[in-house]
């Protein structure tokens, strides 16, 4: 009896000490958490490239070549992209700040006399309050100012902290290098450390990597396609700042419900109001075909059916992720949602009977 009490005391002391060690280790890696997560996710994405090189070269040389490829494919284009984005975002902010955009939009809408007819309907309905164009346009102008300034600040921050960006990118490449070399050992160590059965650990890891692949490969390439196509369309139609609008559409493409329609539909409406009916209809058809093709043809081909999550959950996961973690929330949000849903599935299949003995969960 005394031995059991002694063993329990030693175990409690060990758990307390181990918990303190975990907290201290967490504080050590907290500044590099984003780098580590992006490195692990990127490793999963570029592992086929590493395996291709490994067929003819040693693992170390293959890992070095893979990291070099990531540098030239990802880092160089991003630097160029941020320079152009900063310039066009500042132009959008200046237009909204100087009321250039507001005056252009007001002149366009006033020519339709739509508001006069709307106010007449209000009077007939017994409502004396009249609506002015300023009340409708000012929020749009403020939104343009906010979006333009936010994107400009983000791009300016990155370009003014080039050394930090290069440093963090190099740290990410180091993570990728060692994950490519020793990733299997690391995963096995985490499985051994986890008190969960190996099948549960494997399920968590597979779901995590599947969702990461879906976000970065499926949504990332889908967003790139829609952003480039939308930007080229805006350039062809003569819209201002086509590169900036292409970037905005590329990010909006991550949202599964609204997507690039937030930009494309108003653009089509503006063209129709300008008496460019054919161009407006073409933009709407272009948007419908592009969105449908990426969502129902491209993404299933690239990602497959490995990740099944309701679009509404993904929508709020991305919105909440952006609010909580900034631009990286596009990645963090779906990953956190995947972690929760996978743990909930494990609970239903393996632990619910302990809490609710008479209840059995039926998998759909």
What is the tens place of the pLDDT at every residue in 20-44?
998 998 888 888 888 888 888 788 7
How much is the pTM? 0.67
pLDDT, residue 110, reads 54
* Highest-confidence segment of 83-87, 116-120, 180-184: 180-184
Domain ranges of the chain: 197-364
Helix 59-70 × helix 33-54 angle, to 10°: 120
Average pLDDT over residues 133-157: 59
Evaluate if residue 124 carries a pLDDT over 70: no
pLDDT number for residue 66: 92
């Amino acid at each position: 009896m005394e031995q059991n009490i002694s063993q329990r005391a030693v175990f409690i002391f060990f758990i307390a000490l181990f918990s303190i060690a975990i907290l201290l280790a967490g504080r050590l890696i907290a500044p590099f958490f984003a780098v580590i997560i992006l490195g692990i996710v990127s490793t999963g994405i570029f592992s086929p490239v590493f395996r291709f090189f490994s067929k003819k070269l040693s693992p170390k040389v293959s890992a070095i070549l893979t990291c070099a490829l990531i540098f030239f494919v990802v880092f160089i284009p991003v630097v160029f992209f941020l320079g152009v984005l900063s310039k066009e975002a500042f132009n959008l902010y200046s237009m909204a700040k100087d009321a250039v955009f507001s005056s252009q939009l007001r002149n366009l809408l006033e020519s339709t006399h739509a508001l006069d007819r709307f106010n007449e309907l209000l009077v007939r309905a017994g409502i004396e309050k009249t609506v002015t164009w300023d009340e409708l346009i000012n929020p749009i102008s403020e939104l343009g100012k906010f979006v333009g300034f936010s994107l400009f600040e983000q791009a300016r921050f990155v370009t003014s902290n080039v050394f930090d960006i290069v440093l963090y990118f190099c740290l990410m490449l180091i993570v990728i290098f060692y994950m490519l070399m020793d990733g299997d050992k690391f995963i096995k160590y985490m499985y051994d450390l986890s008190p969960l059965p190996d099948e549960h650990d494997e399920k968590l890891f597979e779901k995590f990597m599947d969702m990461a692949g879906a976000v970065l490969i499926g949504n990332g390439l889908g967003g790139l396609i829609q952003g480039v196509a939308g930007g080229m369309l805006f350039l062809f139609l003569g819209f201002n700042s086509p590169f900036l609008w292409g970037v905005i559409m590329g990010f909006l493409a991550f949202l599964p419900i609204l997507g690039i329609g937030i930009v494309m539909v108003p653009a089509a409406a503006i063209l129709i109001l300008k008496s460019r009916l054919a161009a407006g209809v073409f933009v709407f058809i272009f948007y419908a075909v592009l969105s449908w093709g990426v969502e129902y043809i491209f993404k299933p081909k690239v990602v497959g059916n490995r990740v099944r999550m309701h679009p509404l959950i993904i929508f709020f996961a991305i919105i909440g992720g952006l609010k909580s973690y900034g631009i990286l929330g596009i990645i963090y949000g779906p990953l956190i949602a995947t972690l929760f849903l996978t743990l909930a599935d494990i609970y239903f299949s393996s632990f619910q009977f302990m809490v609710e003995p008479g209840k059995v969960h039926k998998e759909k």
